Structure 1
Amino acid sequence: MTENLPAEVEFELKRRLGQRSASALEKHLGLTTVGELLNYFPRRYLKRGELTSIAELPRDENVTLVARVVSCTTRRMRARKGTLTDVVVSDDSVRGLNQVHLTFFNAYRADKELLPGTLAMFAGKVTTYQSQLTLTNPDYVLLEDESGFDAEEARRPVPLYPATAKLSSWRIKAAVEALLDIVDFSRIEDPVPADIAIRDRLYSLEDAYQQIHRPQDMESVAKAHERFRYQEALILQTALARRRAQAAAEEATARPHRRAGLLERFDASLPFTLTGGQQEVGATIAAELAENHPMNRLLQGEVGSGKTLVALRAMLQVIDAGGQAVLMAPTEVLAGQHYESIRRMLGPLAEGGMLGGDENGTRVVLLTGSVVGAARRSVLRDINSNEAGIVIGTHALLSKEVEYYDLGLIVVDEQHRFGVEQRDQLRAQAIKPPHLLVMTATPIPRTVAMTVFGDLETSVLRELPAGRAPIRTHLVGLVENPGWAERIWARAREEVDAGRQVYVVCPKIGDDEGEDPASFEPTADAGEESRPLASVQRIAEFLGELPVLSGVRIGVLHGRLDSTEKNATMAAFTEGQLDLLVSTTVIEVGVDVPNATMMVILDADRFGISQLHQLRGRVGRGSLLGTCLLVTSLEPGHPSRERLQAVEATTDGFRLAQDDLKLRREGDILGSSQSGGKSTLKLLRVIKDEAVIEQARNDAAAIIEHDAQLGDYPELAQAIELYLNPEKEAFLERG
């Protein structure tokens, strides 16, 4: 490639297609360069002569359909000047719902062209009028029957592109084909090394682009897809492998195990035996902390599997070696819970130098936004002087006024709640790159872990500690069983009368407000606003007046309460001063009340699978059996009840994570939106393409081992820069 010229893919479309076409592509699809249009792949392909199934058309969405004209009539409008052309099209099926009614205003061309028997492709928004499917003023293009093509052309599939109301699939197809005829493929460098392409018999880059956009047959489409899926996987995995190599090259302070230190004394004080998983993961972490390059590890495990204990043992090893440890949590409630539980576990070891404390112990401090004044100054002094070996907090830990004595380990709880920049801010406050342990209670399918957390080594805790009670989950459908509405609260009363406690979870705070933005996870049908949702304020008021709950002490917790009130409410529930807590999902992670045995999740269909699994994990945390009721007002058979049935069927978080990904779609794997919808990945699918991802991961590791700077692989390096812009590549650091 000539040194001072841009690569072909970087040329602006207006230089290749002209201003008019380029402007339309930019305005409606956001495409501005040759590479962006070449990589705008068809969403599916039609066989010549294949008609679209009208019965399967989605309502209130823009669609592209191929149909045959049944009738075409034109009449003058009575209320105003002009004509109205009514066209009925069919998919030739014999089923009842096999016609769409098209309406054109003053459409001279449609009147002349859309004659009965004509085959055409139509694009527009499907609506329903008087029980009939309709398209108003749709865009269209005439097609020919197979008899109108020569034999070879008749076999060619017709690509259908993701289109908009203003830019139809065939206009996009025309622009792509015009580009394919003029683009100089010799100036597009292939990111896939030649030896790999030969080994796997992959299409050349030119053949892949030609066959994905104007294929000879569906077998050619499949081979083009195979090529681009591998290419995507290799680019992603090479970027991750490069990050792993960069991390391994950094110099950290080794924190080896010290005999007769805090860790050994803590282990000796434990009234139980660590699970096999905790011992195995603990040994791995201990060995990595003793290295002079930073540990970067993801610790994932089921709700209640004992991740915090594993993290605490790592913190104590770092303190024994002269360093400090930080645990960063996403909310004040969770940070407070960690603070109390870690102090409780350590006992006198957490009160070093204090009256009644262990003189050789350390101190645990809490820093959140609500710690102010003299208390804040005292915490900051303890951090700076190394009196505090363990620092627990929220985003307040990122403040410039926090100066660490020697930050050796960062533990991040529920990393998906934090941005990359926040993690990097904390790292920058250390003298040398600190060790990093990321914890998540949301199980991550292996393929997702390889793709998103691929720069972290992964450990998994599957085993639950002995004595942990199972959780029974029941789907409560109020449509088919309206009488169960009263029984729910009678069951809650039974738990309270037995001396236990109950959570009631709602998707909203108040009836006049939207959902709690910090806690609500949108689902596939989040736009379904016609039915009123349970709100914390209304449900708390309702339960307070319910005779069956007379005398029950009820508390309220949500994200809009001030910190003092939130902490006081949570403390009262933890200490047994409240019997029933009505809450949003602020209790989703970390909240540990062993006496809470029942959870009622109202409008449970409004939450995603992972969120329901997290919520459910708040009960059954002691030796008492836990019960979770998933309450819904949706009709049986509604798609959103699939999620509830999946959660009811199993408590295996890894199986649920897999189901979650399938039901919600993969979402923006490289971006912050993780709840379905458009994916940054074009053809690669992390659930379906595990073998491709694994092969690419192995190839990427070999490439980086040979040449960590990619000097021998300039095409691959350039592809990483083009495909993974800085924002997306940074997201790969999200661990």
Structure 2
Amino acid sequence: MQAMSSAPDSPPAAKREKSAPQKALEKLGLVRDIDLALHLPLRYEDETRITRLADARDGDTVQVEGVVTDSQVSLRPRRQLVVTLDDGSDTVRLRFFSFYPSHQKTLAVGQRIRARGELRGGFLGREMVHPSFKAVTPDTPLAEALTPVYPASAQLPQAYLRKAVGAALARADLSEVLPPEVVPPGLPTLREALHFLHHPSPRVSLATLEDRSHPAWLRLKFEELLAQQLSQLQAQRERARLQAPPLRAEREGLHERLLAALPFRLTEAQRRVVEEIAQDLARPQPMHRLLQGDVGSGKTVVAALAAAVAVGAGWQCALMATTEILAEQHFRKLVGWLEPLGVGVAWLTGSQKGRARREMLERVASGAASLVVGTHAVIQDQVEFARLGLAIIDEQHRFGVQQRLQLRQKLQGRGLEPHLLMMSATPIPRTLAMTYYADLDVSTIDELPPGRMPIVTKVFSDARRAEVIERIRHEVGQGRQVYWVCPLIEESEKLDLQNATETHAQLSEALSGHMVGLLHGRMPPAEKAAVMSLFSQGQMSVLVSTTVIEVGVDVPNASLMVIEHAERFGLSQLHQLRGRVGRGAVASVCVLLYTPPLSDTGKARLKAMVETNDGFEIARRDLEIRGPGEFLGARQSGAPLLRFADLQEDAPWVARARSAAQLLLERHPQAAAAHVARWLGGRSEYLKA
């Protein structure tokens, strides 16, 4: 009879507690074998050769081998383990400030040791501080390939990660899924490329590994860009199969009436873009278009004309902005243009409560409001549209993918999708558009309306603050208005910045007889609206504000913009803020106040602001300074950004990947699907919204 065990059943393998390194692997996204195989080294250590101490120079990183002749713990100037190693040609001290008993045992007198580190000249002779080391015998073989050093974390030792990557490389299916006709000639297979990059031969030029120009690197860049392009093109094709209401502008309809009623003429660029959008709206497939234009180029009127097409065709239009102030600016302009033409306009924000909110929701649900303007409140579940035909999203890069998808889902019950127009005053550099917005049609307003005065940008140290205040006194004395922008509204221990409240008090005292207002994100909406109204109407001379006025605010009489601690702002944000002035007939000035010392990045930003007013050049430099992840608002969705390819240097590879992606989808759809699954897994959805 089998004995019964009184011990509880051991948990199944799947439910056992994961070790710290396993959890650390998951945190880095290293879940599948292919994820580990694609986790490439940051750098390499050459453990394939031994250098004689007599031949080594100070400053070299070398691997030496010898016998320990002295090993002791010293307590001065701090506790440390000091070991003397003799390789027969010379001696070197190995110095450790952090060590364990096991280290002392390995580094005991008489032990044969192989150590690798930077050789430095010291007061008592040459030394290595915290070298890597291991005990060896005279016949211990040397490594045959360079030793990889991987991106890791404190809970993930290199030895564990090397073993995990090695095992994954052996298990992962690295068979070729791409037909030979799409792979550029001269590149190795994926398997060859990955095995080489994890264990490169010591004979390879380290420079080609570091600058990623080696053919093995080029294969990975091509594969990554191809997966990304395939994902975008698949999204584009899926969208082409969707249905949207065709919205056609009728002769002498609302669109024509709005054009006739506008108090200004459209620029040629605006006319071209309006026509592109109108053609898209007339199709039974959903428009997916990005409207980009520099600060002040007139995107709002283009949006109004697009809305007029939708409303004129009997459908509703929703316009969503990132902040209440920006949404309200749009609301005022659109009400001014469209309400006289009989269009019902609704206003929806998160701060609306009670009866006012219920009334707005009823107007939207009944169709009484043809145009709905607001913040992200527009996409909340309780907002039901009667017939949503067009959704317009301003400053689209600030909305997460999920929010954009919610807006598109408002017509799902009818088997239709609304047309989608996204607007951005941060122009997208061409390589970035080809890569991250490949499934978007892009319309660009590339000229400013006539009469816009150039803005002169000046950079001053904070020590010249008094001069700047004197300039403000002169401007307001001439009847003009001034913005003063601060980064924070209260003191922070981390950032020693003067807050908006202090600056407001200082300017109020210096400019007695002139109204100085204060605006920041924590004020109640009604208070914000009151301050903006006073400034817009010209009753307030100076507006001290945080960055809530970054976009959308239009006060033609404002001629001076002061940005305090300008070094703390991103380049595109500085350009947006500068665009709040120069909207009237008077030459305007933007003053960038900084607190020294400036970092290299800070210097590069301020230099760019002085050298150019061109939003496209600003965008190009911003991309150079920050990289694509930051430029795109860090992809709030969590979408994977490029790990291997570089948008500036590898632009020709983007074009190659794009043509290869089109070929694959047309002739080898199964290979295309397998390639996207290998590289992106379930994350390809993030790239589609």
* Fold equivalence (TM over 0.5): yes
Asked if 1:488 is matched to 2:473, the reply is no
Kept in 2, the 8 Å contact 1:503–1:580? The answer is yes
The answer for the alignment partner of 1:520 in structure 2 is none
Q: SS state of the match for residue 683, structure 1? A: coil
**Structural mapping, 1:274-313, within 5 Å:** 274-313=266-305
Q: 2: CA distance between counterparts of 1:733 and 1:236?
A: 10
Q: 2: CA distance between counterparts of 1:35 and 1:252?
A: 39
Q: 2: CA distance between counterparts of 1:621 and 1:447?
A: 31
The answer for the alignment partner of 1:723 in structure 2 is 679
State the Cα distance separating 1:244 from its structure 2 match. 0.5
Larger Rg: 2
Kept in 1, the 8 Å contact 2:231–2:688? The answer is no
State the Cα distance separating 1:102 from its structure 2 match. 4.2
2:179 to 193, 196, 199: 193
AA at the equivalent of 1:556: L
Report Cα offsets for 1:197-235 as digits up to 9, x if no partner.
2x5333112111111111232468711111111111111
Q: 2: CA distance between counterparts of 1:442 and 1:643?
A: 15
State the Cα distance separating 1:174 from its structure 2 match. 5.0
Kept in 2, the 8 Å contact 1:66–1:121? The answer is yes
Asked if 1:364 is matched to 2:345, the reply is yes
Q: 2: CA distance between counterparts of 1:27 and 1:415?
A: 31
Residues 176/558 of structure 1: CA separation in 2 closer, same or farther (3 Å cut): same
Q: 1: CA distance between counterparts of 2:457 and 2:287?
A: 38
State the Cα distance separating 1:167 from its structure 2 match. 4.5
Residues 116/440 of structure 1: CA separation in 2 closer, same or farther (3 Å cut): farther
Report Cα offsets for 1:264-311 as digits up to 9, x if no partner.
122123333221211111111111111111111001110011111111
The answer for the alignment partner of 1:732 in structure 2 is 687
Kept in 2, the 8 Å contact 1:468–1:620? The answer is yes
Q: SS state of the match for residue 489, structure 1? A: helix
Report Cα offsets for 1:567-611 as digits up to 9, x if no partner.
111111111121111111111111111111111111111111111
Asked if 1:696 is matched to 2:657, the reply is yes
Q: SS state of the match for residue 263, structure 2? A: coil
Residues 114/384 of structure 1: CA separation in 2 closer, same or farther (3 Å cut): farther
Q: SS state of the match for residue 325, structure 2? A: helix
The answer for the alignment partner of 1:392 in structure 2 is 373
The answer for the alignment partner of 1:506 in structure 2 is 486
Q: 1: CA distance between counterparts of 2:57 and 2:377?
A: 56
> TM-score, normalised on structure 2?
0.83
**Structural mapping, 1:448-527, within 5 Å:** 448-478=432-462, 482=463, 484-511=464-491
Asked if 1:651 is matched to 2:651, the reply is no
Kept in 2, the 8 Å contact 1:475–1:631? The answer is yes
The answer for the alignment partner of 1:425 in structure 2 is 406
The answer for the alignment partner of 1:519 in structure 2 is none
2:251 to 253, 259, 262: 259
Q: 2: CA distance between counterparts of 1:504 and 1:193?
A: 59
State the Cα distance separating 1:314 from its structure 2 match. 1.1
The answer for the alignment partner of 1:176 in structure 2 is 165
Report Cα offsets for 1:82-103 as digits up to 9, x if no partner.
97324799xxxxxxxxx99642
Q: 2: CA distance between counterparts of 1:666 and 1:688?
A: 13
Residues 77/201 of structure 1: CA separation in 2 closer, same or farther (3 Å cut): closer
Q: 2: CA distance between counterparts of 1:456 and 1:296?
A: 6
State the Cα distance separating 1:249 from its structure 2 match. 1.0
2:194 to 194, 209, 219: 209
Kept in 2, the 8 Å contact 1:666–1:679? The answer is no
**Structural mapping, 1:73-152, within 5 Å:** 74-76=71-73, 84-86=80-82, 102-105=96-99, 107-108=103-104, 111-112=107-108, 120-121=116-117, 138=130, 140-141=132-133
Aligned residues: 640
Q: Which runs of 5 or more residues in structure 1 are unaligned?
A: 1-13, 57-64, 90-98, 123-133, 352-357, 515-528
The answer for the alignment partner of 2:545 in structure 1 is 583
Residues 535/113 of structure 1: CA separation in 2 closer, same or farther (3 Å cut): farther
AA at the equivalent of 1:477: S
Kept in 1, the 8 Å contact 2:608–2:618? The answer is yes
Report Cα offsets for 1:153-189 as digits up to 9, x if no partner.
88x5553322444545465445534554x43x6x434
Q: 1: CA distance between counterparts of 2:109 and 2:227?
A: 48
State the Cα distance separating 1:143 from its structure 2 match. 11
Report Cα offsets for 1:12-40 as digits up to 9, x if no partner.
xx99xxx9897486388563432222111
Q: 1: CA distance between counterparts of 2:400 and 2:200?
A: 42
State the Cα distance separating 1:420 from its structure 2 match. 2.1
Residues 115/626 of structure 1: CA separation in 2 closer, same or farther (3 Å cut): farther
Kept in 2, the 8 Å contact 1:455–1:732? The answer is no
Q: 2: CA distance between counterparts of 1:69 and 1:497?
A: 79
Report Cα offsets for 1:427-452 as digits up to 9, x if no partner.
22224211110000111112222222
Q: SS state of the match for residue 732, structure 1? A: helix
Q: 2: CA distance between counterparts of 1:461 and 1:688?
A: 27
Asked if 1:437 is matched to 2:421, the reply is yes
Q: SS state of the match for residue 230, structure 2? A: helix
Residues 486/225 of structure 1: CA separation in 2 closer, same or farther (3 Å cut): same
Q: 1: CA distance between counterparts of 2:42 and 2:312?
A: 57
Residues 644/570 of structure 1: CA separation in 2 closer, same or farther (3 Å cut): same
The answer for the alignment partner of 1:534 in structure 2 is 498
Q: SS state of the match for residue 473, structure 1? A: strand
Q: 2: CA distance between counterparts of 1:100 and 1:569?
A: 67
Residues 44/661 of structure 1: CA separation in 2 closer, same or farther (3 Å cut): farther
Residues 83/545 of structure 1: CA separation in 2 closer, same or farther (3 Å cut): closer
Q: 2: CA distance between counterparts of 1:397 and 1:190?
A: 47
Kept in 2, the 8 Å contact 1:121–1:143? The answer is no
Kept in 1, the 8 Å contact 2:115–2:132? The answer is no
Identity of aligned residues (%): 37
Q: 1: CA distance between counterparts of 2:631 and 2:160?
A: 29
Q: SS state of the match for residue 365, structure 1? A: strand
Q: SS state of the match for residue 370, structure 2? A: strand
AA at the equivalent of 1:507: P
Q: 2: CA distance between counterparts of 1:377 and 1:621?
A: 37
Q: 1: CA distance between counterparts of 2:186 and 2:613?
A: 43
State the Cα distance separating 1:362 from its structure 2 match. 1.4
Kept in 2, the 8 Å contact 1:414–1:439? The answer is yes
Further displaced range: 569-578 or 240-249: 569-578
State the Cα distance separating 1:45 from its structure 2 match. 3.9
AA at the equivalent of 1:193: P
**Structural mapping, 1:543-554, within 5 Å:** 543-546=507-510, 549-554=511-516
Q: 1: CA distance between counterparts of 2:592 and 2:630?
A: 28
State the Cα distance separating 1:411 from its structure 2 match. 0.5
State the Cα distance separating 1:120 from its structure 2 match. 0.3
Q: 2: CA distance between counterparts of 1:550 and 1:69?
A: 78
> TM-score, normalised on structure 1?
0.78
State the Cα distance separating 1:255 from its structure 2 match. 0.9
State the Cα distance separating 1:113 from its structure 2 match. 8.6
Kept in 2, the 8 Å contact 1:368–1:394? The answer is yes
Q: SS state of the match for residue 426, structure 2? A: coil
